[in-house]
Amino acid sequence: ANGVPNGASGISNGAADAAGEGHGAEDGAEEDDAGEASGSAGTVRRELVALLLAFLKEYYLRDEENAIKAMLRDTCATGLHPRPLGKWGLMSLGEVGEAIAAFEVWKDGGCLYMPILYYSPSYQEEIPGFITAKRSTAGGSKYTLENINPQGEQSWKRSDADPNNVRPDRSKVGWWAPSADAEAVNVEHPEQEVQPAAASSSTPTPVAPGRIQTATFAFDGSSYGPDYLVLNPGDEINWLEEDQGWSRGKVVQRQVVLPHDRPGALVDVG
C-alpha cells in the first residue's frame, strides 16, 4: 500500500517534468523569435551608423566636417530638430556618437580610399588618386597612393608620399554619399518615379524636364539601402526633381556592367 502512493508520486513528478520540458521548448522558441527580431533590428541600426559614417566622410571631403557633425546632433532623436531617416527612423545620440567615433578612427588611419590630389615634386603637377594605406616611419607618416580607373585597373602608384603634398580632391563631391551638389541620383526603384522614403515631405523643387546625366563612376547603392541605385559608368539618368538634398529620377539607359569597387558616384550633365 505504501508503494502505491510512492509510485503515484513518481508518475506525478514525471508528468511535471514533462510539462516542464514542454514549457522549456516554448520558452526556447520565444527566445529564438526574440533573438531573430533583435538581430534584424541590430542590422538596421548598424546600417544607419554606416550611412552616417559615409555622410561624415562626404562632408569631410567637402571641408564641412563641423557642419555635418552639428547637423547630425541637431537632427537626432534628442536634438533640437529631430528628423526621421526613412526605414531607419530617428537616429539616437548614441548612434551619432558611434558614427563620429568611427569617423575619427578613419581620419587617424589616413582617410583611406579618399580621393586626393598629390603634388609630385618630380612632375611639378598634381596627380589625382586615392589614399590606400598609411604607415609610420622614423621621419613621420607616409601614404600609399593609387589611381584606379572605372574599370578597376591600377594606373599609378606611389608608396612613400609625403602627407604635406596630399590634399583632398574636393571636385569629387558626392563620392561617399549622394549629394545634390554633385547631382547624384537617389530613387526608390530604377524604372519607377518614386520619391525616396527618407526625403522631406515638403514641396520638392522641380528640375528642368529631360535633363539627362551620365554616371562617371560606379556606385553600389545597395550598401546604403533599397532607396539607392546601383550605377555603372555610362548609365544615363533623367534627373526629375530635388528636395532638400535628395534627388529623384530614373535610369533611362544602362551601359554594359563593368567591374567596380568605388564607394561613390559622380554624374555629369549630358
Q: Are residues 31 and 75 in the same domain?
A: yes
Give the pLDDT confidence score for residue 250 in this predicted structure: 75
For residue 218, being part of any structural domain is answered with yes
Q: Are residues 162 and 139 in the same domain?
A: yes
Q: Are residues 202 and 183 in the same domain?
A: yes
* Domain residue limits at 19: 6-107
Rounded CA separation 170/174 (Å): 10
Residue 74 confidence (pLDDT) above 50: yes
Greater confidence, 232 or 73? Answer: 73
Rounded CA separation 14/225 (Å): 53
Give the pLDDT confidence score for residue 179 in this predicted structure: 55
Give the pLDDT confidence score for residue 125 in this predicted structure: 93
Q: Are residues 213 and 190 in the same domain?
A: yes
Q: Are residues 144 and 183 in the same domain?
A: no
Give the pLDDT confidence score for residue 225 in this predicted structure: 63
For residue 1, being part of any structural domain is answered with no
49 band by pLDDT with thresholds 50, 70 and 90: very high
Q: How many CA atoms lie within 13 A of 66 on its CB side?
A: 0
Q: Are residues 176 and 161 in the same domain?
A: no
The pTM of the full predicted model, rounded to 2 decimals, is 0.55
Domain boundary among 168, 190, 212: 168
Rounded CA separation 172/84 (Å): 28
